Amino acid sequence: MGHRPRDGRRRRVLHGQAVAASAGRLDRGEADPRLPPRGPLTVGAVRAPLHDRLALDELGGDRFRGAPEPGHRHVFGGLVVAQALAAACRTVGVDQHVHSLHATFVRTGRFDEPLDHHVERTRDGVSFATRRVVVRQPSADPVLVLTASFHGDEDGDDYQPPVELTGLPRPEDLPPGRYDGDVVDCRDVPPAGGPPHERHMWFRVRGDLGDDPLVHVLALAYASDNGPTRAAREPQAHLLDRASRQSLSLDHAVWFLRPTRADRWLLSTLRPVSTGRSRGLVHGTVHTADGVLVAAVTQEALQRLGPADDQAR
């Protein structure tokens, strides 16, 4: 897959199965002997399909290469976000945990070319660290620009608004949803009152992701791009049909509020807050099955009438 670095160092790594180098402790491109050898890796008791999607080849100089997903016309935005975040996490200390990401989708990614992630170490402070990742493909302009913020653990008050989930059907009682696939198990909750156009969806990443919290963060980043574009067009659903619209993610942000397991059922709640000028804005939350708020999501999506033009951005 692509060329190898001249020094021959190319290692298949997934952050969360190796101890990360502390930010700034290694020179750019310096080999880290703590990285696992290249080859098949297993997470937990059952190999998780997502695992192969997030594995990166380390190219040196804070550069990493990931593979697109097979069987898709375009690269799924959640995959690019999760891989870029995984690359950023490879450059911070083990005591720094991502608490937010902000991503701009510059163009649609090609399914037949690798994804190259170049990490910029923007800042390493006392409590916070910032990383910027530019994702490119060989024949295209940048696909994605992502900024991630990391924070060391600190004590503080804990608050979240109360949430009532008792009236919702359980995921075990629902059929597979529209976004169900080999990586994420999704179950749409039928609309039943509530705010206009609000949508609920149960989801979990398939397989056993193991116990490393970072792996679950990356899995949540991947899954967070399931649903917002559809939610953005809910207010205009009566005007749009699949043959006459272009719907694409433009900007995507996730706040990781509390640790969770992404291989257990989580509830996504999405609410369109604005549509206009061919764009729709969606706010969302992610709760555990017992009502703990673990993440917040915001996305702006393109909602253009007329036939799709993949490069018309």
Q: How many CB atoms lie within 10 A of CB 51?
A: 25
162 DSSP assignment: -
Active site residues: 225, 249, 299
Backbone angles phi, psi at 301, to 5 degrees: -125, 145
**Among 227, 215, 207, residue whose Cα is nearest residue 85:** 215
Q: Which of 129, 143, 139, 134 is nearest to 87 (CA)?
A: 134
DSSP single-letter state for residue 303: E
> What distance in Å separates the CA atoms of residue 227 and residue 115, rounded to the nearest whole number?
23
CB 270 within 8 A of CB 250: no
Residue 217 sits at the vertex; the CA angle it makes with 215 and 221, to the nearest 5 degrees, is 115
Q: For residues 271 and 250, is the Cβ–Cβ distance under 8 A?
A: no
> How many other CB atoms are there within 10 angstroms of residue 28's CB atom?
11
What 3-state class would DSSP assign to 200? strand
∠ Cα 86 88 89 (to 5°): 65
